[in-house]
Structure 1
């Protein structure tokens, strides 16, 4: 039995549980510990080939939530589900009890667990072992035989396709779930509360002025100027806060740049301006992600949620959807009814990252078409240098 991992990239064949385990940090964006991880698998017409779909994680102490997890996974209608218990803190009797509950849930049909494996932690070469299922005759039909499905060692993490994708963008899985969320819980240490309050007020007032000018301008020039301002901000970030040789980000220095943060705050103060520059987050995803994270770590309230939602869209555009999930959760904690964050989270949960970007860009294009006459757009297109 083999599994194919689809992430809008060339197909990768995962032959063993050890290879699947190696991909989990890259899929989640962090190294899960004291967790139960469920991987949904889908049949694509080939009897021995399955496609890896959504991956879900549950705190090992929250086994009581198993029916809710089962309900969520059932909505995907997976062919089968693999479960992985990751723990080095559970006493043996508690681990046995957890296994019993998973097995009973599988037997009752509450959750279609075909196989369950245990490992202490997800690191390269860490041993894993099969706890229950699949049947030996099913494993013997696989090219790798029963041995690597019953027990084995986790494949190199850095060679896993999910990790490679992160490495290509200068990223690594966070060491824990806590650290994945902590990326967005930092506070800007360079600005006092009084200064932040003043900046936020000024940004909102400027945003109102920009929106008013755009709505009163039939020529579309104010709208285009507003796009140019944010584009220049992203170009400034690219030129000054990315290392030219390594591409490494300089996030801490960006937190000191009050002028650029004020510009970003202006565009995140109103949903109208946020939606107007949405396409730039797809066109310049790395620069947008860095600037918007700095903005989210500087300001609070709906402004922060707007920045986090567009940060999420930026990293999705980079192929790093695993980085989007914590940002969207933090955004919704900040502003529970934040529409864009809730919509993005729902789409991400359903594995629709490509469709998410397409839908957001369609809405953005409609907004631009409404405010900029076609004749102006055509003139601008003709003035651009031809590649």
Structure 2
């Protein structure tokens, strides 16, 4: 399941469909896309968006609705994308029509389209319209998808130097591709070194001092310098020094929480370094890096990679607390609140380590 939280004006079903690749980061196929529509100062806008494999309908619908309820959903739309004949989709479409969650919220309207491509036709399967076309959705019964390349979300992708992948597998590979510059033996040695340094600092030793507060001050001050050395993901992947320092940050909950605020302050550089770390290392280091990478994407208000990164964390490490908490907040459409909470948690960690909130460190 992929969930993202853009905010865009609502116009027609075709316009919504054209925005889906830019929202999810890939072109979904054989999927059900659920979209919560909520009030905004400009009228109605898109809230959280969820993608389900058709085989997961109806089993995952309640989970999606639980996430939607954290916002202010007034209407729930569904778009089924499939090359199958409508008769083969009957059970899935009927389950969508019949679904109602514990609060009584159901799916208000559902459209069917073969694929997400420009000029592809879509048809209303059920919704507030009679067979003669009368009702609130009488002008939304059928149509074609407009140019995907000019949709709001696709323009945002281009502005950020990105394009949606063709499939979800292609998108997920961004987070699973291994670092090509180091052998496993080298990576294992780097991991051990990072973990030992983190444990040393947790014990109050490092940077040539045995004063625990000074150790933490040096650790925090190092973050800005290290991030200033990051130019791109590719360069970070081959820079052993940068990788080892960032791996040390991600080795323990203690070191990780101390640096969160500074990472989120420069999300572009931090995101590149954290993704390089996630693709290089394993276990705790990888999952902490992926979770905070997702947070850097949310803080840039362009979360095309946040959802997929969090999905990988939850799939690979369902008990990873930070990843699970960030995923829950993100899927519920609470991006800004999530960033605020992470920064507050960092401040609390620093206070516990003897660093005041207003400290120059």
TM-score bracket relative to the smaller structure = 0.7 to 0.9
The aligned runs of 1:1-387 (5 Å cut-off) are 7=6, 12-43=8-39, 49-65=43-59, 68-69=62-63, 72=66, 75-76=69-70, 78-88=73-83, 90-105=84-99, 112-135=106-129, 146-147=138-139, 149-213=140-204, 217=211, 220-238=213-231, 241=232, 251-371=233-353, 374=356, 377=359, 380=360
The Cα of 1:173 is off from its aligned counterpart by 2.2
CA distances 1:48-97 after superposition (whole Å, capped 9, x unpaired): x4342221111112224155356536745732211101112x24431344
Q: What's the RMSD between the two structures over aligned residues?
A: 3.1
CA distances 1:17-55 after superposition (whole Å, capped 9, x unpaired): 011112222222222111011112235699xx4342221
Count of residue correspondences:
352
In 2, the alpha carbon distance for the partners of 1:272 and 1:375 equals 17
Relative distance call for 1:63 and 1:373 in structure 2 (3 A) is closer
Residue pair 1:302, 1:335 contacting (<8 A) in 2 also: no
TM-score (norm 2): 0.86
Number of the residue aligned with 1:245: none
Residue pair 1:214, 1:223 contacting (<8 A) in 2 also: no
**Unaligned stretches of 5+ in structure 1?**
242-250, 382-387
Relative distance call for 1:257 and 1:93 in structure 2 (3 A) is same
Residue pair 2:69, 2:332 contacting (<8 A) in 1 also: no
The Cα of 1:6 is off from its aligned counterpart by 7.8
In 2, the alpha carbon distance for the partners of 1:65 and 1:300 equals 32
SS of structure 2 residue aligned to 1:124: coil
Number of the residue aligned with 1:244: none
In 1, the alpha carbon distance for the partners of 2:64 and 2:291 equals 28
The Cα of 1:298 is off from its aligned counterpart by 0.7
TM-score (norm 1): 0.81
SS of structure 2 residue aligned to 1:237: coil
Relative distance call for 1:160 and 1:139 in structure 2 (3 A) is farther
The Cα of 1:302 is off from its aligned counterpart by 0.8
Relative distance call for 1:6 and 1:375 in structure 2 (3 A) is closer
In 2, the alpha carbon distance for the partners of 1:51 and 1:224 equals 44
The Cα of 1:319 is off from its aligned counterpart by 1.1
SS of structure 2 residue aligned to 1:41: strand
The Cα of 1:117 is off from its aligned counterpart by 0.7
Higher RCO, Cα 8 Å, sep 6+: 2
In 2, the alpha carbon distance for the partners of 1:317 and 1:42 equals 22
SS of structure 2 residue aligned to 1:53: strand
The Cα of 1:114 is off from its aligned counterpart by 1.8
SS of structure 2 residue aligned to 1:189: coil
**Unaligned stretches of 5+ in structure 2?**
none
